[in-house]
Amino acid sequence: MPYDPSAFPPFAVTVDLVVLTVRRHALCALAVRRGEAPYQGRWALPGGFVRGDEDLTTAAARELAEETGLNAHDPAGPVLPNAAHLEQLATYGDPKRDPRMRVVSVAHLALAPDLPAPRPGGDAHSVRWAPVEELLDQEAGYGRDGEQVTPLAFDHAQILADGVERARSKIEYSSLATAFCPQEFTVGELRRVYEAVWGVALDPRNFHRKVTGTPGFLVPTGGTTTRQGGRPAQLFRAGGATLLNPPMLRPEA
Amino acid sequence: MPYDPSAFPPFAVTVDLVVLTVRRHALCALAVRRGEAPYQGRWALPGGFVRGDEDLTTAAARELAEETGLNAHDPAGPVLPNAAHLEQLATYGDPKRDPRMRVVSVAHLALAPDLPAPRPGGDAHSVRWAPVEELLDQEAGYGRDGEQVTPLAFDHAQILADGVERARSKIEYSSLATAFCPQEFTVGELRRVYEAVWGVALDPRNFHRKVTGTPGFLVPTGGTTTRQGGRPAQLFRAGGATLLNPPMLRPEA
DNA sequence: ATCATAGTCGTCTTCCTGACGATAAACAGG
DNA sequence: CCTGTTTATCGTCAGGAAGACGACTATGAT
């Protein structure tokens, strides 16, 4: 097909973010309330237009910083205190996904440790961490004012579901679960991350054997903590290994 | 950020295809020769603009059919003879990836059985199956006419590398390797697919035990064949199982 | 007939996992 | 101080899966 610069239809390109964290033993996602039509008053994933001179990853990192104050973690750079894992998830381009115009959205997945306070971004609209169970609940939910608040706006329920599934499967064979933990954490805290993301209970003894026995996964820092109560636990940092082999097995049935 | 319909920069959106097959015991990708600038004379991945009313997957399936005559396999539908596996790979949107304008490309990965003849598509430009090793070779290669033919145009080397890596890892834990085989195939043929994609040698006895012992992976058709020489081998079709648990282990070191 | 080739079935050892007992070190409350 | 509770950590044992590899089978080629 010969190239004709005038022959392509124009698209708007956005990035949408699935930002996950573990709060109070539940997997939670960041949601923002829409202030305008369409889907006014409904919850949606944070996101925005990609600028004309901006890479997709850059746009996602910018949106993440605007909404949460988190920095995208650069594997090459130093470990920042406010660093979150950020990766591209998938792209959604159904012609009718946005009633206003043709929008292609490049969804990204971010994994962050539990933040002290879910601070609203630069905009005044409301932002919150909501358990993914709640956001993905099939039935329509209504707020105090009678407005419909779930399901999520646009195709964001699908995007969120895809992001959650990506996170669930990826912690099986990578060390990504540490992205949900603070810089220093205990084996028990890491186990609770797995339990929250998978929604299962894991045997503490076998889990301990598995993670401490995988070379390069965890590096002891020397310190201990009793912040979980009980016997003091060793503190670890994430090791250099990013791939778990053999993988952590997700219990089933 | 308030919504302003005039505030978004226009993008062109394309789909690019990483079409993989196994030919003569080597993993090969479909490449087309560019007839115009930029990168005139260089090889590139097949692809094209997404139409104004077209879904991304639809556009990818259309391009695949135009270039190869293959149909995208619909998991819900019947098994077509000319069906290939098709899935979204990733999206590439560096502002400078195309010197002409701002183009975001949604790359897709297609896996196809060895086709009888690599027939050129509707366009007259040349198309060929090339070993991925060759296409990804770092050093610049030159054709008979002295024109530079490698590396691939645009960021297609990166896209191809990502697609190959996706295929390599995905056959570990899914039954996707059967997408490289004809509808009926032997255990040995399936093993040669794994060997070509991974570039390793696998023990025929352990491989046989693994694939025939995984419920739902292979269903015997009753027939046998000697097309590979040696003792006649049982013919199988792909079973319904799509996830392999435990996975096929990729040897290392 | 003999050989080469490919397929199929077994055996053995090793490693990993799941189940679970036991001990250790903190805290709370009587 | 002693006891119960909580969490962490170490150890043991049985079962399953995988790697290494021997043995046998059924074709075609020489």
Q: Which domains does chain B have, with CATH numbers?
A: 5-173 (3.90.79.10), 176-238 (1.10.10.10)
- Contact predicate A75/A175, CB 8 Å: no
Nearest nucleotide (C1') to the CA of residue B246? D17
Between chains, do B11 and A50 touch, taking CB under 8 Å as contact? yes
Closest-CA residue in chain A for B12?
A10
- A192 pLDDT above the threshold of 90: yes
- Contact predicate A111/A179, CB 8 Å: yes
Cα-flanking dihedrals φ and ψ of residue A122, to 5°? Answer: -60, -30
d(CA B13, CA A142): 37
Q: Pairing between strand B71-72 and B83-92?
A: parallel
- Contact predicate B102/B91, CB 8 Å: no
pLDDT at A97: 98
Name the H helices within A72-230.
132-135, 156-173, 187-198, 204-213
Q: Give every CB contact of residue B34 below 8 A, 6+ residues apart in sequence.
A: B40, B41, B42, B43, B44, B125, B153
| Nearest residue to B129 via CA among B158, B160, B85, B100 | B160
Between chains, do B36 and A2 touch, taking CB under 8 Å as contact? yes
pLDDT at A125: 61
A91 contacts on B by Cβ (under 8 Å): 56, 88, 91, 106
Cα-flanking dihedrals φ and ψ of residue A80, to 5°? Answer: -85, 155
In three-state secondary structure terms, A152 is coil
Q: Could you say which of B56, B92, B95 has the minimum Cβ distance to residue A54?
A: B95
Q: Could you say which of B9, B91, B100 has the minimum Cβ distance to residue A106?
A: B91
pLDDT at A70: 87
| Nearest residue to B176 via CA among B187, B189, B190 | B190
- Contact predicate B158/B135, CB 8 Å: no
B71 - beta bridge partners?
B83
Nearest CA distance, A232 vs chain B (angstrom): 36
Between chains, do B11 and A13 touch, taking CB under 8 Å as contact? yes
Residue pLDDT, tens place only, B9-67:
999 999 999 999 999 999 999 999 999 889 999 999 999 999 999 999 999 999 999 98
Q: Is the CB of A187 under 7 A from strand D?
A: yes
Give strand C nucleotides closer than 7 A to any protein Cβ: 4-11, 16-22, 24-27
Choosing among A11, A40, A105, which should be mutated to test the B contact, i.e. which has the most B CBs within 10 A?
Answer: A11
Residue pLDDT, tens place only, A229-238:
899 999 999 9
Burial pattern B226-235, b for ≥16 Cβ within 10 A else e, equals eeeeeeebeb
How large is the average pLDDT for residues A41-67? 96
Going by pLDDT thresholds of 50, 70 and 90, the confidence category of residue A141 is: confident
Between the alpha carbon of residue B89 and those of residues A130, B68, B86, the distances in Å are: 29, 19, 9
A14 - beta bridge partners?
A49, A105
Give strand D nucleotides closer than 7 A to any protein Cβ: 5-11, 17-23, 25-28
Between chains, do A53 and B100 touch, taking CB under 8 Å as contact? no
DSSP state of B6: T
Q: Is the CB of A78 under 7 A from strand D?
A: no
Q: How far apart are the first and last CA of chain B?
A: 51
Closest-CA residue in chain B for A106?
B91
Encoded tokens for B94: 């560096």
Residue pLDDT, tens place only, A125-135:
689 999 999 99
Q: Is the CB of A220 under 7 A from strand D?
A: no
Residue type, A133: E
Count CB pairs under 8 A between chains A and B. 85
How large is the average pLDDT for residues A162-168? 98
How large is the average pLDDT for residues A21-41? 94
Between the alpha carbon of residue A87 and those of residues A114, A155, B88, the distances in Å are: 18, 19, 15
Burial of A118 (0-12, 13-18, 19+ CB in 10 A): middle
d(CA A190, CA A196): 10
Choosing among A34, A94, A104, A244, which should be mutated to test the B contact, i.e. which has the most B CBs within 10 A?
Answer: A104
A123 contacts on B by Cβ (under 8 Å): 1
pLDDT at B252: 75
pLDDT at B124: 45
Burial pattern A22-32, b for ≥16 Cβ within 10 A else e, equals beeebbbbbbb
B250 contacts on A by Cβ (under 8 Å): none
d(CA B5, CA B67): 36
Encoded tokens for A99: 């009633």
Q: Could you say which of A48, A90, A102 has the minimum Cβ distance to residue B1?
A: A48
Between chains, do B10 and A10 touch, taking CB under 8 Å as contact? yes
CA of A186 to C1' of C29 (A): 28
Percent of all residues in chain A with a pLDDT value above 90, rounded to a whole number: 77
Q: Is the CB of A213 under 7 A from strand D?
A: no
Residue pLDDT, tens place only, A77-95:
666 667 899 999 999 999 9
d(CA B85, CA B170): 12
Is residue A116 reached through a cis peptide bond, with omega within 30 degrees of 0 on the bond before it? no
Burial of B113 (0-12, 13-18, 19+ CB in 10 A): buried
HSE of A130 in the Cβ direction (CA atoms, 13 Å)? 24
B49 contacts on A by Cβ (under 8 Å): 7-9
Residue B110 or residue A1, greater confidence: B110
Nearest CA distance, B101 vs chain A (angstrom): 9
Strand ranges, E, within A81-170: 83-92, 103-111, 127-131, 141-142, 148-150
How large is the average pLDDT for residues A103-108? 98
Strand ranges, E, within chain B: 12-23, 26-33, 43-44, 47-49, 71-72, 83-92, 103-111, 127-131, 141-142, 148-150, 218-225, 233-238
* Residue stretches of chain B with pLDDT short of 50: 1-3, 124
